[in-house]
Amino acid sequence: MRYKLAAFADEASSNIDEQIKAMKENGIEYLEIRGVDGENIADISAGKAREVKAKLDANGLFVWSLGSPFGKIGILDDFEKHLDSFKRSLDICEILGAKHIRIFSFYGAEGRYDAVANRLEKFVDAAKGSGIILCHENEKGIYGDIASRCLEIQQNFPEIKAVFDPANFIQCGQDTKEAWDLLSPFIEYMHIKDALPDGSVVPAGKGVGNLPYLLSQYKGEVLTIEPHLSVFEGLANLEATSKTKLGKYSYPDSKTAFKAAADALKELIL
């Protein structure tokens, strides 16, 4: 396989031991770590990080990136407290052996690029000399949600790389091929997430995200599986007693949804 696979394994389980199990069952070597035993990665202690690292080491697994919430606050929210948390997470990266932190460009910031740039510059300054690569994700509702505004950030902050998320672009009405043409020189890695025109997330290759084309153009090494698939907890019981059609991509539990997301990507790349 040409790619290394990573995943948001907290979508399989909130429990780190179950995350590790799901990664191994699905042949995924890298973790984009976001939630650990019910705690956000931005909130875990150094001691907890060391505990997680020991478990990953024992299972031959690695942390690719911190799937952090940094920049996922309002542009008028208290930034100094947020920045302090970001600085602590640089130490967590070091403990976990992660070389990337995904970041965002703030909610409610349309038309406020100067304020966005001021805050991004503080992230960049804090990370200088750490060896950690900051990667901006095109999340819906933030300043950099469409390709042109993502490009503005990338051109003005060469220290920041891009995480390309096809489903998020679809949910913003942004054509993914057009986005790719603008942003491909800056892409550090991809989130593998597809969607239908109405914005509902589906397995990779089943939506309008042009995943086969994007993967044919992608020169990077790592792909992060981010399932975001619909889990209907009572599905298994209901299907046993009813012929009601609940939708093609509904899953009875998180582990099944996680496996479906991993299998869909493997179909495209193997």
Please name every residue paired with 230 in a beta bridge, in sequence order, or none if there are none. 250
Q: Which residues of 155-190 are buried (b: 16+ CB within 10 A; e: fewer)?
A: eebeebbbbbbbbbbbbbebebeebbebbeebbbbb
**What is the predicted pLDDT for the residue at 230?**
84
Nearest to 191 by CA among 230, 169, 161, 223: 223
Per-residue model confidence as pLDDT tens digits over 162-182: 999 999 999 999 999 999 999
Nearest to 151 by CA among 179, 126, 192: 179
Per-residue model confidence as pLDDT tens digits over 78-99: 999 999 999 999 999 999 999 9
Per-residue model confidence as pLDDT tens digits over 178-205: 999 999 999 999 999 999 999 999 999 9
CATH of residue 58: 3.20.20.150
Number of domains in the chain: 1
Cβ 102 vs Cβ 163: under 8 Å: yes
**What is the predicted pLDDT for the residue at 120?**
98
Segments in the chain below pLDDT 50: 238-246
Per cent of the chain over pLDDT 70 is 94
Q: Which domain holds residue 162?
A: 4-269
**What is the predicted pLDDT for the residue at 241?**
40
In three-state secondary structure terms, 22 is helix
Nearest to 149 by CA among 103, 110, 102: 110
